[in-house]
Structure 1
Amino acid sequence: YLRAILNRGHKFPVPDGLLINGRGWNGYTVTVDQGKTYRLRISNVGLTTSINFRIQGHKMKLIEVEGSHTLQNTYAALDIHVGQSYSVLVTADQPAMDYYMVVSSRFTKPVLTTTAVLHYSNSFRGVSGALPWGPTDQIAWSLSQARSIRWNLTASGPRPNPQGSYHYGLIKPARTIRLANSAPIINRMQRYAVNSVSYVPTSTPLKLADYFRIGGIFNVGSISDYPTGGGAYLQTSVMGADFRSFVEIVFENSETTVQSWHIDGHSFFVVG
């Protein structure tokens, strides 16, 4: 059904609704003991819609984003964009009752909302009251929160390099890559592209083709380091890189929607 929408040249519509662990309004319950602290991992597994997550009457201490330790800032609400996962600590330090856990859509009309229940094990009162406030179309709010999330280089755990081995501000990038996403129509079908190339998967996985040196599967350099300004086309796009080189990557989004990027297996500093 979703493929058919794109193949007819249309973008995905606004979702019919939101789910928490596959369930709708108050359909999912998390039971906690009063006084204890719990780790929640919140993932946005949707296709196109950013969400905001919050818990009635409770604060969330952010401790991890995408496998990296963060400075442990406290938030009342968190924006989570497509494909992102956050870990938070929540202490059950409120009076014994049930509380709303709320997810609402960001930058959509209409705003979609659903709830789950945070249930205190010694509670005899169901959820009540108004849902806690959450941002809807406030872009500056989301940007401000994103800037507040910082990598914690002093936390225990694996890091890209031993602390102090690199002074990142003194390293001159060996290369600058500009990646511009777009949503072109190709052959009357809705497609999505980076630097005018819409990726086409191969019958042989790229890593296997590379490892076994199978020719004819892909070509390194089949996507430019910068936007070409030309028409979009279909291609198995592969960009080459030098091992252990220090690269500056600039993401450019001229679309009217929020775009999430994930660099598989790599950590990075956001510098601007």
Structure 2
Amino acid sequence: MRLRLAVALFCAAASLFAITRAEDPYRFYSWNITYGDIYPLGVRQTGLLINGQFPGPDIHSVTNDNLIINVFNNLNESFLLSWNGIQQRRNSYEDGVFGTTCPIPPGKNFTYILQVKDQIGSFYYYPSLGFHKAAGAFGGIRILSRPRIPVPFPDPAGDYTVLIGDWYKSNHTVLQAQLDSGRKLPFPDGILINGRGPGGASLNVEQGKTYRLRISNVGLQNSLNFRIQNHRLTLVEVEGTHTLQTSYSSVDLHLGQSCSVLFTADQPTQDYYIVVNTRFTNPVLTTTGILRYSNSAGPVSGPPPGGPTIQIDWSLNQARSMRTNLTASGPRPNPQGSYHYGLVNTTRTIRLANSAGQVNGKQRYAVNSVSFVQPDTPLKLADYFKIGGVFRPGSISDNPYGGGIYTDISVLNADYRAFLEIVFQNDEDIVQSWHLNGYSFFVVGMDGGQWTSASRNGYNLRDAVSRCTTQVYPKSWTAIYVALDNVGIWNLRSEYWARQYLGQQLYLRVYTDSTSLRDEFPIPKNALLCGRAVSRSS
């Protein structure tokens, strides 16, 4: 039975990707999603496990690989996985958020067919429904360069995934019920490193060798700072972009962000603290892991090293110092600087302001005053089957208007091949973090206060980092450029998880009249159908 299933999956995948390059390899995964007891902060919780693991297994791939991931939902509730940073070129049906993909019903399975087309770098996957992310089922994704593509640093002696994030002792069902009742969540209870609490995580190294850490903030609420006692961290990659190799004592990662750093085990042979703490919070949560040298002469000594100042300026200056390595190759052999984004004229400016408030006496969060509510049918399916009444393109304005919060199914219409300037305005006292599915974008500017057209004078139009998740500091703005070269309906959301759950998200509908396979793949033959699309045929 399993053999027949594998053959069927291969044939389905091969037929879908026949229009891509036939020599691109396939990688097959079979994942069982179950509940299980976990104890990351010393108390029993109900976690979401993948093949019995918390966190889930890493996905290791190479540029252009085809990933065939068969997910069996053994829960008593629906389930979906999404792939943070994987662009799903021409294939938003596989994106794994409810706006594009029907959930996997209890007791059923669904096979994701993904291609990591023209991508390299460090990303992660996570469960996208409800508040499942607070229970686990997340893991790292690494996309290596093809052997013939040069990488701007020597192969490291080891390559580690490091998943960091704040965590609650309460089960995800309790947290979700609290949000559903209209209340805010409390401050988290702790921080995890690779699913383990204080002192639980460790990395083994040999003196004199250099290692790569792929770090992702998979948490729910807080920006985090990462550092290793007595070791410098050299930034080399941010969400698929090779960066200038800048050395830092510590690195800030905001919600949803990923990066790669190199460090050399150049200290005396003993154990050293790995430290992660929350940023811009009172109180400050801190956790530690252990960097263990082979033949270590002793345990960690002294207090864990302190982090950077709590002032925003330190973090802002570090963010501005992260630049693209223009001469390095990306997923293709041509240099990353070959695309001169600063010379392209923007065709539209969209200003998005986040806000908090109440609707009918319950806590909600909004973008341009619209608090997103989930439709009864995935937007992509409604679009494909031409089902009216599910959503209205243009149901959210290009600019904030300052009115009270109201609920709607927020969809921005945009033309295929447009070149957008998007400005995120954050007038609140929290650090905001925004992620756009389906794309990478150039972070051309960030500063305090209100954005104006004069702010463009300070844009970095030469070597800004291209990434998929960006922070916006309190009472500040961040501006991005994005080329809309990927047809589909794509989620733009706050990575502050309670906020996105209570409405701080929208969908970008990148549309073309063309039906060419060069622009978009057809709906998958195995697509799950739900809502008003349930009686349609794929």
Partner residue in 1 for 2:216: 43
Query: How many Å separate the matches in 2 of 1:223 and 1:146?
Result: 30
Partner residue in 2 for 1:186: 359
Residue 156 (1) aligns with residue 329 (2)? yes
Query: How many Å separate the matches in 2 of 1:93 and 1:29?
Result: 17
- AA of the residue aligned to 1:64: E
Instruction: Map 1:236-255 onto structure 2 (within 5 A).
Output: 236-255=409-428
- AA of the residue aligned to 2:295: N
Partner residue in 2 for 1:220: 393
String of CA shifts for 1:157-198, please: whole Å, max 9, x gaps.
237x98676543333211110000111211222111111111
Structure with the bigger percentage of strand? 2
String of CA shifts for 1:136-170, please: whole Å, max 9, x gaps.
521111101110111223222237x9867654333
- AA of the residue aligned to 2:395: S
Instruction: Map 1:46-61 onto structure 2 (within 5 A).
Output: 46-61=219-234
TM-score (norm 1): 0.93
Instruction: Map 1:55-70 onto structure 2 (within 5 A).
Output: 55-70=228-243
TM-score (norm 2): 0.48
Residue 118 (1) aligns with residue 304 (2)? no
Instruction: Give the 3 Å change call, closer, same or farther, for CA 18–167 of structure 1 in structure 2.
Output: closer
- How much does 1:61 deviate? 1.0
- Aligned residues: CA RMSD: 1.9
Query: How many Å separate the matches in 2 of 1:13 and 1:185?
Result: 17
SS of equivalent to 1:210 = helix
Residue 133 (1) aligns with residue 306 (2)? yes
Answer with 174-183 or 134-143: which moved more: 134-143
- AA of the residue aligned to 2:439: H
Query: How many Å separate the matches in 1 of 2:434 and 2:328?
Result: 25
Query: How many Å separate the matches in 2 of 1:249 and 1:185?
Result: 26
Partner residue in 1 for 2:380: 207
**Identity within the alignment, %:** 67
Is 1:71–1:151's contact at 8 Å kept on the other side of the alignment? yes
Is 1:34–1:122's contact at 8 Å kept on the other side of the alignment? no
String of CA shifts for 1:58-111, please: whole Å, max 9, x gaps.
111111112222111111101111111111112111111100000011111111
Query: How many Å separate the matches in 2 of 1:52 and 1:97?
Result: 23
Query: How many Å separate the matches in 1 of 2:337 and 2:297?
Result: 53
- How much does 1:208 deviate? 2.8
- AA of the residue aligned to 1:122: N
Query: How many Å separate the matches in 2 of 1:20 and 1:204?
Result: 36
Which consecutive unaligned segments of at least 5 residues does structure 1 have?
none
Partner residue in 2 for 1:265: 438
Instruction: Give the 3 Å change call, closer, same or farther, for CA 264–86 of structure 1 in structure 2.
Output: same
Query: How many Å separate the matches in 2 of 1:143 and 1:163?
Result: 24
Query: How many Å separate the matches in 2 of 1:45 and 1:227?
Result: 29
Is 1:44–1:81's contact at 8 Å kept on the other side of the alignment? yes
Partner residue in 2 for 1:177: 350
Query: How many Å separate the matches in 2 of 1:166 and 1:95?
Result: 44
Query: How many Å separate the matches in 2 of 1:68 and 1:270?
Result: 12
- AA of the residue aligned to 2:307: G
String of CA shifts for 1:179-238, please: whole Å, max 9, x gaps.
001112112221111111111122332223323333322221111100021111111111
SS of equivalent to 1:73 = strand
Query: How many Å separate the matches in 2 of 1:125 and 1:87?
Result: 28
2:371 to 198, 208, 222: 198
Partner residue in 1 for 2:263: 90
Is 2:203–2:292's contact at 8 Å kept on the other side of the alignment? yes
Is 1:221–1:240's contact at 8 Å kept on the other side of the alignment? yes
- AA of the residue aligned to 1:145: Q
- How much does 1:8 deviate? 4.0
Is 2:372–2:409's contact at 8 Å kept on the other side of the alignment? yes
Is 2:326–2:337's contact at 8 Å kept on the other side of the alignment? no
- AA of the residue aligned to 2:189: D
SS of equivalent to 1:141 = helix
- How much does 1:239 deviate? 0.4
The size of the alignment, in residue pairs, is 271
Q: Which structure carries more relative contact order (alpha carbon 8 Å, separation 6+)?
A: 1
- How much does 1:14 deviate? 1.5
Query: How many Å separate the matches in 2 of 1:113 and 1:163?
Result: 37
Query: How many Å separate the matches in 2 of 1:199 and 1:251?
Result: 17
SS of equivalent to 1:209 = helix
Is 2:382–2:388's contact at 8 Å kept on the other side of the alignment? yes
